[in-house]
Amino acid sequence: MPVELPIRLEVLFSAEAIAAKVDELAGQIRQDYGDETVILLGVLKGSFHFLSDLGRRLADTTIVDFVQTSSYGSGKSSTGIVQIRKDLDINIEDQNVLIVEDIVDTGTTLAHLRELLAVRKPRTLKVVALLSKPEARKHKTQVEYVGFEIPNEFVVGYGLDYGERFRNLPYIAILHEG
């Protein structure tokens, strides 16, 4: 049985700060798209809280679908290999597609997704990410809507996990081990 190190969580963004930021992002998105339908393409599993809150604020002009990728395994750093575990279910040709990401750090997953989705000929293809780690970026990939820029720390909560733990916290925290 593995030994578990003591873990300390340092709150980075409260539930209230996250809610205010989601409101702000929804306003920017609505301003850019007007009444046009937008497909919110959530990247599982981490984006589900963010996508749910964002979708409610954007109301009935959205369609929701999901993709699931993996590049972390159960560790704290990306393996650099992106696997598609679940592809989207709907046709995105000539549609406005907004990839909904919990966090963009190295940019590897997002670069791969943009390439994969672009060949499906969406009308527009943009990204909204609640969190961005510019210091960790290895791939230059565009993120049109960014909630918060954060330091190059491992964070959990509001959909983000560590070995499937801490995902349901209502806030985002830096995870400290030891």
Say if residue 123's pLDDT is above 50: yes
Give the model's pLDDT for residue 114.
92
Give the model's pLDDT for residue 1.
45
Say if residue 130's pLDDT is above 60: yes
Q: Domains along the chain?
A: 21-153 (3.40.50.2020)
**What's the pTM value of the predicted model, to 2 decimals?**
0.89
Show contacts of 30-34: CB within 8 Å, 24+ apart: 30/58, 33/61, 33/96
Mean pLDDT score of the chain: 90
Nearest residue to 131 (alpha-carbon basis) of 147, 142, 143 = 147
| Higher pLDDT, residue 170 or 7 | 170
User: Cα(33)–Cα(162) distance, rounded to whole angstroms?
Assistant: 35
Evaluate whether 71 touches 108 at the Cβ level (below 8 Å). Answer: yes
What residues are labeled active site? 105
Quick count: other Cβ atoms within 10 Å of Cβ 134? 14
As a whole number of Å, the end-to-end CA separation of the chain is 18
Residue 123 makes CB contacts below 8 A (sequence gap 6+) with 94, 95, 96, 97
Give the model's pLDDT for residue 57.
95
| Higher pLDDT, residue 108 or 128 | 128
